[in-house]
Chain A
Amino acid sequence: MDQAEVMERVVKILTPWAKDEQALASVAMETSILDDLKVNSARLVDVVIAFEDEFDIEIADEDVDSVNSVGDAVQLIQGKLG
C-alpha cells in the first residue's frame, strides 16, 4: 500500500473527529492532529483503534506517543504494514 493511499484512509478516519474544517480541507503530512485538526486528545485512542481496524495492525501505547502529525500516523502505519 503506497503512502498516498494510506494517507487518504488516515484522513478519512480522522474526519469525524477533526473540529477544524479549514485545516481538514488543506490537510498535509505536516498537519498536526491535535493542534491543527483540533482532534480532542481524549479521543486519540479511538482514532488509533480505528487505524488498527482499518489496516488490521496492532499499535502499542508507546507508538502513539510519537504520532503528532498526519505524516507521523502514515509512517507508523506503513511501518506496521511492512
Chain B
Amino acid sequence: MQTSSDAARLPRGEAFWHTCQRCVVALCAPLWVPAAAAVLRFVSGYRIRDLRRVRAEFDRILDEASAPMLICANHLTLIDSLLIAWALRSPWRYLLHPASFPWNTPEVKNFAATPRQRVLAYLAKCIPIERGGGGEETARVLRRVAFLLSAGETALLFPEGGRSRSGRVEPAEGGWGVGRILASLPRCRVLCVYLRGDSQHGWSDLPAPGERFEVRMACIEAKSDLRGVRRSRDLSQQVLRQLAQLEAGYFDDRQ
C-alpha cells in the first residue's frame, strides 16, 4: 500500500515506541488472532452473512488504495472492533498482511483499567483513549492514529465516540476526533462499516450468542472547505451521515 505524501508526523520517541508495539503485535498475532476468530465462530456461534462477499469487497477496496484508509463503524457492543476485523478478513490473511489488521482505540476504563488489561490491549494492537480525558492526551492518540495511517496501516474508529445509547447512528451526537484525523490527512479515504446483528435492538456489552450479523460498507473521501474546528466537525459529520445512510438502507431492506 502506498503512503500519503503528506504524512502525519510523530516525535521520534513516540514513533519508536509505536514501531515497537507494531513489532510485538506482529510476533504475537499468530498466537491470538486465529484463536480469537475461533472463539467468535465456534464458542459464541457468531456468523457474518455473505462473509465471502464482505471479505472480497474489503480486499478490492484495499487493493485500490493509493492513500491512507481509516475504517469507521457504528458502535453497539464492546467487541465491535473484533467482530468487524473478523468480518473484513480471515485471520490467515491478517497474518500474511499484518498492516491490514486495524489498530483501534478502546476506552481506557473498559479495556485498559488494570495492568493486565493494558498488556492485553497492547498485544491486541490497541491504543487506549480516555473518553472525556484531557485534550493533550486525546490529541496525542489522534496524532498517533494519523501517523500510522500515513505509514500505510489501518485503524478502526467509532465516530460516535461510544456505544450508541439509542441503538441508532445519531450524527448530531457524534464527536469530532475522526474529523481531526481526516483534516491532517487530506487524501485519507474512509471505509464506513455498518455492522448489526439480527436481534440487536440496542447497545449491550456483548451480542447474543449465535447472533447473525450483516455488514454493509461504503468508501468515501470526506472533503471540506471549512477551516479549523468547523472543518474537523464537518468531516466527522460526513462520516456519520454515511453510516446513518448505511443504517437506513439496512432497516429499509428489512421491512
The CA-CA distance from A60 to B161 in the complex, in Å, is 21
Decide: A45 and B228 in contact? CB cutoff 8 A.
no
Decide: A64 and B229 in contact? CB cutoff 8 A.
yes
List the A residue with the shortest CB-CB distance to B132: A41
Q: Is A30 an interface residue (CB 8 A)?
A: no
Residues in B neighbouring A62, C-beta threshold 8 A:
139
10 contacts between A and B (CB under 8 A): A41-B138, A42-B161, A42-B176, A45-B232, A46-B233, A52-B229, A58-B227, A60-B229, A64-B229, A66-B135
Decide: A68 and B161 in contact? CB cutoff 8 A.
no
Decide: B131 and A45 in contact? CB cutoff 8 A.
no
The CA-CA distance from A46 to B175 in the complex, in Å, is 9
**Tally of contact residues, A, Cβ under 8 A:** 20
Q: Is A49 an interface residue (CB 8 A)?
A: yes
Decide: B228 and A52 in contact? CB cutoff 8 A.
yes
Q: Which residues in A have some Cβ–Cβ distance to B below 8 Å?
A: 34, 40-42, 44-46, 48-49, 52, 58-62, 64-68
Decide: B161 and A45 in contact? CB cutoff 8 A.
no
- Which of A42, A64, A66 has the most B CB atoms < 10 Å from its CB? A42
- A45-B232, A60-B229 given; 10 more Cβ-contact pairs under 8 Å: A34-B132, A41-B138, A44-B176, A52-B228, A52-B230, A58-B227, A61-B139, A61-B232, A65-B138, A66-B136
Decide: B176 and A45 in contact? CB cutoff 8 A.
yes
Contacting A at CB under 8 A, from B99-140, are 131-136, 138-139
Residue among A40, A46, A61, A66 making CB contact with B183, cutoff 8 Å: A61
Residue among B133, B175, B229, B232 making CB contact with A42, cutoff 8 Å: B175
Residue among A45, A60, A66 making CB contact with B175, cutoff 8 Å: A45
Q: Which 10 A-B pairs have the closest CB atoms?
A: A65-B135, A42-B175, A45-B176, A41-B132, A65-B139, A45-B233, A48-B229, A42-B161, A61-B180, A60-B228
Contacting A at CB under 8 A, from B156-209, are 161, 173-176, 180, 183
Residues in A neighbouring B138, C-beta threshold 8 A:
41, 65
Residues in B neighbouring A40, C-beta threshold 8 A:
132
Residues in B neighbouring A59, C-beta threshold 8 A:
228-229
Decide: A49 and B230 in contact? CB cutoff 8 A.
yes
Decide: B173 and A68 in contact? CB cutoff 8 A.
no
Residues in A neighbouring B230, C-beta threshold 8 A:
49, 52
The CA-CA distance from A59 to B135 in the complex, in Å, is 14
Decide: B228 and A58 in contact? CB cutoff 8 A.
yes
The CA-CA distance from A46 to B236 in the complex, in Å, is 13
List the A residue with the shortest CB-CB distance to B174: A42
Decide: B135 and A64 in contact? CB cutoff 8 A.
yes
Decide: A49 and B233 in contact? CB cutoff 8 A.
yes
The CA-CA distance from A52 to B136 in the complex, in Å, is 21
Decide: B134 and A68 in contact? CB cutoff 8 A.
yes
CB distance from B236 to the nearest CB of A (A): 8
The CA-CA distance from A45 to B174 in the complex, in Å, is 10
CB distance from B9 to the nearest CB of A (A): 13
The CA-CA distance from A65 to B229 in the complex, in Å, is 11
Residue among A46, A49, A58, A68 making CB contact with B135, cutoff 8 Å: A68
The CA-CA distance from A62 to B231 in the complex, in Å, is 13
